[in-house]
Every structure is written in structure tokens, then in C-alpha cells.
Structure 1
Amino acid sequence: MSDRLYTVLLYSDDQRIRDQMRLAVGTRPAADLQVEFIEAATFDECIRLVDTYEIHLLLLDGEASPAGGIGVARQVKDDRDDSPPVCLVIARAADRWLAAYAEVEATLVHPLDPVTTGATVAQLLRTHAPA
């Protein structure tokens, strides 16, 4: 069985956070999954990339400013019937209710644990990404 290549969009206004996300996911979140990354630092750039490219997963920084990942997730979910799955990275576990409002499929909490992050990304890609 050949590995499928998935595209993950990393969104944060902070390059260090995007770097942390990329490192936590890695290029192989599971033995049979390979990912490539594209990045967005602004809300407009994120929406443009979602509209332009085949994105299999959005990994969004809930603490981004001025537009947080929660707002981006909600906008994408409201605008698209075929929204890719969304994983929201939040600062506090108590913020999961906000993630539920944004209709995201999963949440992760800063600081990102590579094992949990990889497993979450792999599960979302297997469950929600098109075959």
C-alpha cells in the first residue's frame, strides 16, 4: 500500500507557533501517512489558501491575533459545505467549549506533545479526509 500525501494548513500569526505545530506533527504522523505543510499568518491568507488548494486538515492557533483560530474555524465551517477537518490548538483545556462552538473536530493544548499531536492528526486524516 502506498502512502497518501496529505496537505495540512498551519495558521498562526506567530512563526514560532507554526514551527512548533510543524515539529509536533512531523512529516509522518503515522507510519502510513505523509504530510506536507502550507502556512498562513493572517486570516485573509488562510481563507485564500483554503479556497485555492486542496487542504486535508486545518491546524489553527486559537491564540492567534487579531483573528484567532476559533474565528477562522467558524468562518470556514459556515462558508463551506466541504470544509476540511479542523484541529484547534488552545492555551487552556477550559477553552474547549469555544472549540465546540466553532464546530472543530479536535483540540490540542499548548504546549504540544508530539505523540498526542501526531495521533490526533492521523486520526483526523483517516476519518475525515477524502480517500
Structure 2
Amino acid sequence: MTTGPRVLLYSDDRSVRDQVRLAVGPRLRAGAPDVVWTEAATAAAVVDAAHARRFDLLVLDGEADKAGGMGLCRQLKNEVYDCPPVLVLTARPDDAWLASWSLADAVVSRPLDALVVQRAVADTLAQPAV
């Protein structure tokens, strides 16, 4: 049995994590293996997981309290050897410049549109490794 993409999803807000998982769905396309989700509600849990396990994609909430996903993205891109691609969720489209500073590979702004989130996850996972 083939293992699906491993995605680490970070937000301190459970409803945001639920929105992302529901938008992506159980798999990226018909007949594909199920996405394997790991959820984290704290920045410390994200850092620990990113250092300890291999993920195909990190989805980080840029609006998380205490430690936002953009700063966390920049930290992980600088600390984790062969860091996987990162998709950052921003408050508004105008925050895209800040997401580029964070070294994010992709950005989705709020309000979260299910089709946009699903497409961004699928497209980011499909990008060849650099």
C-alpha cells in the first residue's frame, strides 16, 4: 500500500485546522492515497516534529497567536536540513510580501476558500524538490 503525502498542519485555532483538512479532503485526487495529517497547536510542537520526522509539506497559520506561521516558516527554512515546502495562511492578500520574506513556497489568504486551499496544497506538493 502506498503512503500518501505527509502534511504537518499548524494553527493554534482548531477551527482553522479543521477548515484546511476539510478543504483538502482525504486525498488529493480520486484514486490517490490518503493524506497523512499531523496537527500541531504550538510552535514548539512544530519545531520538534519538523526536526524529528519527514514531512512532504508544512501548512502554517500566519495568524497563530504567540508564534505566527511566517516567523516559524523562516526559522524552519533556516534550521531544518532539506526543509519541506511550506504553505503559509495569511490574514489578507496584502500579506503576501511578508510571506515571501518568511521563505514560504506558497501563500493562501483569508477567507480560506476550499478550492484555493486544495489547489495550493496539491500544487505545492507537485513542485519538484529544489
| TM-score, length basis structure 1 | 0.90
How do 1:61-100 residues align onto structure 2 when only pairs under 5 Å count?
61-100=61-100
- 1:53 alignment counterpart: 53
Specify which structure has the higher proportion of strand. 1
CA distance in 1, matches of 2:90, 2:33: 25
- 1:19 alignment counterpart: 18
CA distance in 1, matches of 2:33, 2:110: 24
| TM-score, length basis structure 2 | 0.91
Question: Please, what is the CA RMSD of the aligned residues?
Answer: 1.8
Q: For structure 1, list consecutive stretches of 5 or more residues without a partner in the other structure.
A: none
Q: How has the CA–CA distance of structure 1 residues 88 and 79 changed in structure 2, closer, same or farther, with 3 Å as cutoff? A: same
Amino acid at match of 1:64: A
CA contact (8 A) 1:56 1:129 kept: no
Q: How many residues align?
A: 129
- 2:6 alignment counterpart: 7
Q: For structure 2, list consecutive stretches of 5 or more residues without a partner in the other structure.
A: none
What is the CA deviation profile of residues 18-41 of structure 1, one whole-angstrom value per residue up to 9, with x for unaligned ones?
A: 111111111112334631110111
